[in-house]
A and B are shown apart, each in its own frame.
Chain A
Amino acid sequence: MILRERLTAAGGLDGLFLSDHRSRQDLAGIVSGDPDAAVTAALAGRRVLLAVGGQMAAARAMIALDGLAARLALVPPKLAPEHIARIAHDSEAEICVSDAEGLAPEALPGLARIDAADAVRAGAETPRETEWALATSGTTGAPKLVAHTLEGLAGGINTAAAPEPGTVWSTFYDIRRYGGLQVFLRAMLGPSSLVLSDAGEPVRDYLVRVGTAGVTHILGTPSHWRLALMSAALDRLSPRYVRLSGEIADQNILDALRDAFPEARIAHAYASTEGGVGFTVEDGQEGFPASLIGTRAGIEITVREDSLFVRSGRTGRRYLGAAPEALIDADGFIDTGDLVELRGERYHFLGRRSGVINVGGAKVQPEEVETVINVFPGVSMSRVRARPNPILGAVVEAEVVLRADAGTDQAALKKAIIAHCRPRLAGHKVPASVRFVDTLPITSGGKLVRRGA
């Protein structure tokens, strides 16, 4: 399966478009440009790093490079320069497709570059299978790269069926992340039109664009949807299909979307960069039916020690990089690290076994925040955990044990600790609240007790 071949073979691209906050482009025009032999030669068979600013440039490059490059590593937006360098290294990139918004001129010295505006003039060659490399959402700061095939990425998509007439996809996500890429592929393999979001765009502006473009199918995290439900522009939307993924979808958000869109199919999907698309639930209830455990078409799901395990052709193939840890167990299963609990006939999600906090779809490793707090003068130790939040699902809360020599003005200390974290951590990792405690529970192995914390 090659993206450009699928689009060309589909014919009937008339009226289909790709749009972002700046422009609207015909899909037919995107796939039919005049190829440039020098550009094609520079990219054919190469391991390519895609580091562009906006999603339109990313989408066009992905169409041009699938089937041509040996590997395509996607750099998510707003990544720190050292993390971009890490992805370039781990993906063994030979050439970078970039633009001024995606990569500073002085970054990645020694790596060949081609401007994204030129790269889209790459022509088709003898098709080869391109390996796609996606970044995880950075649980320990540095993202890990997961290798996928296009077949695996599209494994949860019914590519045999023609899309419903008039289908227009959109997603609050970025298409260089797993969830957003699912929507990009659904649109391209349909084919159907696609409206791209932009990270800096206010919710209202995005919703107005989505409404104007006649979007029928739309994906967001529960947090994206909570925000949309608070926007006066929500009534611009009349979707037929509303999809949630990336976070636990609780009953409140499912009910609120049902009220807001009584005519729409509302589905919550369980998927991850490593594990691929596991399943989709459309009965409007939180959690998932226990009947999904077992073997179905193309996927096996099991629960071991309260954690979900997945085995299927849709999971990642392996991690990339020097001395990568194993992604897939010897028996072919991937441990998702997601804890579940059976209540009656339904499983419910409890969160991450590792204690990773999910702040509106962005992951926070507690240890990373604790390390920053623990160097603050007067701090003895700290424990970072999720504080439930109705807007983002969770925010970061720190419990701090002070040394005897710490000051006594607790309100001032709280402010100082948060101010200390702010320049050292991404915004969503900075504690929203700090509580002072006398002690923290430690296991017999000397580790902080996290589970159930």
Chain B
Amino acid sequence: MSNPTIIDIISPVMAGPSSSHTAGAVRLGLLARNVYNSKFDKVSFKLYNSYAQTGKGHGTDKGLLAGLLGFGVDDKRIKNIFDTPEAKNIKYEFEFLEDFNRHPNAVDFIFDGDLHFEISGNSIGAGEIELTKINGFQTKLDGKYNTLLLIYEDKPGVISFVTKIIQENKVNIASLYCNRNAKGKDASMSICMDGELFEDQIEKIQELDDIYVIRYIKKLES
């Protein structure tokens, strides 16, 4: 929050007790849910460092699960999330770990269901969050923009193909982040946008060969 607004200072309305350990946890869950965007039967949570040591006392475990189930940061059910029908419908487990290479408030989500997905993120203070890794690829997602995420075979022309479709829709690109494992192998791209993409544009992008994962990740409302 380098350039905070009045609203940043006098909000959010949230379930206590900690913006980083509770509200941040809910927002990490919500964003991971938007990324996975599919039905899941089971999810494992790995909490690291401060999230592991003070997580239970701060309700971090409850917040992560609540977000994943789609509950907002101010939802009164967060406190008793384990007893809700939504939580009873899925399998979940928590591991509490220590790893000094990770951020003090780090978490991994491991989904099993329609797809196997691993998503890592950090709660970086004042409820602000970032997703840093998706299925092994570095990313930078903060939930503030609608974002198109692609994992694809690295080859020339993909970035211009995709950005052309976005431009045709007169949507402004706020930031573009690319990463690849090795030349000619898998690559990832995340494009943050000021506007919105629609189904037909996403379908057009999907027509491109050798796209393994395409996700249109809605910005967080909570």
Determine if chain A interacts with chain B.
Answer: no
Q: Which residues of B contact A (CB under 8 A)?
A: none
Contact surface of A with B, Cβ cutoff 8 Å: none
